[in-house]
Amino acid sequence: MRQTLKVVLAILILIPTAGSGDIRSPDKVVSETTGQIIDLLKTNHDAYAEDHEKLYAMVHQYIVPVFDFKVITKLVLARYYKNATAEQRIQFAEGFRDLLIRTYATALLKYQGEELVFHPFSAKPEDQRVIVKTEFKRRDGGPDVPVNFRFFKGKNGWKAYDVSIEGVSMVTNYRSVYTSQIKREGLDAVIEKLSLADQQALK
């Protein structure tokens, strides 16, 4: 249950506003979209719970533009990225993206109105990497949950490349998981598992 809550908290404040052509600062990406996603959940909760494909589609639509999965793939694969072919990199990025979408989408249904609190944010015009620091106030009276987002400035504006929850980095966590699997089974086998998991989820 606690891990599920963490996943919920991460997804709720990373999804961008659809159709926005403005290049917003990272803190704006976080702050301006929280209400929109909560409204979507409140309005469509039953429909999402009944039809997970609809839920996955909504999350895909909103989350993919905010993350740079090419950068995330490079960080997660670490030393294996250099020797991977272009096709392997694309296949892993797509499989990993779909895994995160399914995980986050399912966890969204557990959201229970936790309050988001922002830490003061500042960035210099020349900054290329920043951290947006937030905390969630838990409704059960438990300790606040710190959630930090790492952004970098690319050609198309700010993109997220990592999320840390209670000090645990998503990139570091998955790097450990996949480094171990690739070492034992090889990159192609890991890609195949990701593909099979996606196919099974859509049945």
* Structural domains in the chain, sorted by start: 2-201 (3.10.450.710)
The b-or-e profile of 118-135 (16+ CB within 10 A means b, else e) is eeebebeeeeeebebbbb
Is the separation of the CB atoms in 6 and 166 below 8 Å?
A: yes
pLDDT at residue 15 tops 50: no
Query: pLDDT digit string (tens) for 107-118?
Result: 878 877 777 788
3-state SS assignment for residue 80: helix
* Non-local CB neighbours of 61 within 8 Å, separated by 6+ positions: 18
pLDDT in tens, 131-148: 999 888 888 888 888 988
**Stretch among 8-22, 37-51, 65-79 having the lowest mean pLDDT:** 8-22
- For residue 18, the model assigns a pLDDT of 38
What does the pLDDT average to over 166-175? 94
**Which of 139, 56, 64 has the alpha carbon at shortest distance from 102?**
56
Q: Taking residues 152-167, what's their average pLDDT?
A: 89
Ramachandran category for residue 51: left, alpha or beta (phi over 0 → left; psi -120 to 50 → alpha): beta
Among the listed residues 185, 117, 127, 177, the one whose alpha carbon sits nearest the alpha carbon of residue 148? 117
Question: ∠ CA(99), CA(61), CA(13), 5° rounding?
Answer: 80
First to last CA, the chain: 25
Q: What pTM does this model have? A: 0.81
The rounded distance, in Å, linking the Cα atoms of 48 and 187 is 33
| Nearest residue to 177 via CA among 100, 64, 70 | 100
- What's the pLDDT at 109? 82
